[in-house]
Amino acid sequence: MNQQYEDIYGNVFSLDKELSSGGQGIVYKTKEPNVLLKIEWNPQTKRINLDVVANEKFDAIRLLPIPSNTNITLPQSVLKDCVGYSMRMLDDMISFEEAFRYGDIEYRNAWLESFGDSNPEFVKGFGNYISTGGKRRRIAAFLKVAGILSTIHARGLVYCDLSDKNMYISSAQDRDVVWMIDVDNINFITVTSKRDGIFSPGYVAPEILKGKGNTFYSDIFSFAIALFWNLTGQHPYVGPQLEDKLEEEDFLSETEETFACGCDVEWIRDDEDDSNYSETPIPYDLLVGEKLNNCFKRTFSRAGRHKRLTRPTMIEWGEALAYELDNSIKCHKCEMEYNPTISDTCPWCDEKNTYVSLSCKGVNGENPVVTHMQEIGTVIKVPLRLINGFSVSELDDVLFEIESSKKEVVIRSFNNHFDFECSYDGIFQRIFGKCVIDRDTQIKVTDKSTGEKYLVDYVLKG
């Protein structure tokens, strides 16, 4: 394969390294800052597609009604001598496949050290999970993907080919910027539902394997597989029942996971039929809350597989993920996450943790809109959904920040669209810039545009 490619405007791109490959082409990082190349090829013959007339489809993709602030890398320019295009993306991004994969990372904290050499696979597995961001980073990443898919679905568009290879996240652990690449197949549902289905191995909806086209619901199924797989470390259909089915096959022309998606087996956490039940590498019951489990159940159960309209929408997935994120804290000892309203101590290591609990209600005493909890010792970016509720368009918006420790609590970085007052001895006073607040206090928030008022209860627990 050539090492340089020219686009129709005369720009020459030098290949740096391969990022991903699939049935339709290869994505390369180039030596030019923030530029990727997608080049179409035939994976069987290893030949590049030279029919440049096919590049017209990439120009059409740029005309689709995708909002400019949606983190999808659209084609920037098409290539001159082969089928492909350039696209822009931040240089510090890595695929979910790389970010969350099980690797040879040797990581141990005090909790893992306590096991000594008695269970090396357990220590290695959990060390990998923690060092790649644990539950929180995975949930935060997939929440961003849910937002992207919700945005395009609302405009009648289907992504079609979702997998770990085309979802990207910041390589730095303290950042969770997410982008989706490889948009070759995105189109209106009126188009995608009538053509042959497109999928990545292991991430395919059952109806695609039966010859149907791509829809919102096949996107949802692929999303659910990717989330479950990355969160628990196991594919939702790979269990003992599948092993029996595989033994009956003389030759398998697809991956085991793809076969599982179309095979007549139950999902591994089915609560009505345990014939394919399997424990996940990271214990499922300690990872997944009720709302998120309900989404998995509606997707992977027999009803979800065969009656696609029962699958949760991407908005519902987003709400469940946001709830999971807002109601989890990280244990300071073992570094695993858990819901402190369900267990007073960490269910992984029995440690007691101190954490911040925030809840919001209207000034007239309405029920809390949202709760948000986080361990102390970190800068807490309080999400705007604490007062506004869940909204795809506000996933990155922050109401204010809290810097907390056992000594003092500082509130700062206030959202400019609101006025803030803090209760001191029962009297509310306007606050600006940053200020120290009491261990348990109330913050009154007023929307400058509507005048609507909210009360945020801040409580330090544990």
Q: Per residue of the chain (462 residues), give pLDDT as tens.
A: 678 999 999 999 999 988 887 767 889 999 999 899 999 987 777 789 999 999 999 989 989 999 999 999 999 999 999 999 999 987 789 999 999 988 777 888 989 998 888 888 889 999 999 999 999 999 999 999 999 999 999 999 999 999 999 999 999 988 889 999 989 899 999 999 999 999 998 999 999 999 999 999 999 999 999 999 999 999 999 999 888 888 777 666 678 888 888 888 899 999 999 999 999 999 999 999 999 999 999 999 998 999 999 999 999 999 999 999 999 999 999 999 999 999 999 999 999 999 999 999 877 656 667 899 999 988 999 999 999 999 999 999 999 999 977 778 899 999 999 999 999 888 999 999 888 888 789 999 999 999 999 999 999 998
The DSSP element (H or E) to which 98 belongs, if any, is helix 96-100
CATH number of the domain enclosing 406: 2.60.200.20
- Could you tell me the sign of the dihedral formed by the alpha carbons of 343, 348, 352, 356, in that order? negative
CATH number of the domain enclosing 153: 1.10.510.10
Residue 50 in any domain: the answer is yes
Q: Cβ(409)–Cβ(403) under 8 Å?
A: yes
Rounded alpha-carbon distances, angstroms, from residue 260 to 255, 314, 459:
9, 23, 47
Q: Does 270 share its domain with 121?
A: yes
CA dist 77 and 88 (Å) reads: 10
Q: Does 260 share its domain with 273?
A: yes
Residue 264 in any domain: the answer is yes
pLDDT of residue 439: 79
**Closest alpha carbon to 226 in 115, 288, 139, 293:** 139
Contacts by 351-355, CB closer than 8 A, 24 or more apart: 352/462, 353/329, 353/462, 354/406, 354/460, 354/461, 354/462, 355/329, 355/460, 355/461, 355/462
Residue 341 in any domain: the answer is no
Residue 272 in any domain: the answer is yes
Residue 100: what are its φ and ψ, rounded to 5°? -115, 10
Q: List residues bridging with 94 in a β-sheet.
A: 169
Residue 333 in any domain: the answer is no
Decide: residue 281, CB within 10 A, 0-12 exposed, 13-18 middle, 19+ buried.
middle
CA dist 251 and 179 (Å) reads: 37
The DSSP element (H or E) to which 435 belongs, if any, is strand 434-437
Q: Does 74 share its domain with 108?
A: no
Angle formed at CA 375 by CA 114 and CA 322, multiple of 5 degrees = 110
Angle formed at CA 154 by CA 152 and CA 158, multiple of 5 degrees = 45
CA dist 388 and 360 (Å) reads: 10
pTM: 0.93
Instruction: Residue 377: give the domain boundaries.
Output: 354-461
Longest dimension (CA), the chain: 77
Q: Does 70 share its domain with 98?
A: no
**Closest alpha carbon to 19 in 74, 96, 84:** 96
CATH number of the domain enclosing 83: 3.30.200.20
The backbone region for 194, taken as left when phi is positive above 0, alpha when psi lies in -120 to 50, beta otherwise, is: alpha
Residue with tokens 């970010």: 99
Q: Does 101 share its domain with 250?
A: yes
Q: Does 121 share its domain with 261?
A: yes
Q: List residues bridging with 39 in a β-sheet.
A: 26, 84
Residue 115: what are its φ and ψ, rounded to 5°? -85, -15
Please say which residue of 27, 58, 91 terminates a domain. Answer: 91
Please say which residue of 91, 113, 144 terminates a domain. Answer: 91
Q: Does 57 share its domain with 100?
A: no
Q: Cβ(154)–Cβ(190) under 8 Å?
A: no
Helix (H/G/I), strand (E/B), else coil: 449: coil
Please say which residue of 68, 91, 114 terminates a domain. Answer: 91
Q: Does 278 share its domain with 391?
A: no
The string over 216-231, giving b where at least 16 C-beta atoms fall within 10 Å of a residue's C-beta and e elsewhere, is bbbbbbbbbbbbbbbb
Q: Please give the tally of structural domains in the chain.
A: 3
Q: Does 61 share its domain with 110?
A: no
The DSSP element (H or E) to which 297 belongs, if any, is helix 290-300
Number of H helices, E strands in the chain: 15, 24
Residue 335 in any domain: the answer is no
Residue 338 in any domain: the answer is no
SS3 content of the chain, % helix, strand, coil (to 5): 30, 25, 45
Q: Does 63 share its domain with 125?
A: no
Strand order in the sheet with 167-170: 93-95, 167-170, 178-180
Residue 195 in any domain: the answer is yes
User: Which residues lie below 8 Å from residue 206, measured CB to CB, with a gap of 6+?
Assistant: 221, 261, 262, 305, 306
CA dist 364 and 454 (Å) reads: 9
Q: Does 87 share its domain with 98?
A: no
Q: Does 120 share its domain with 73?
A: no
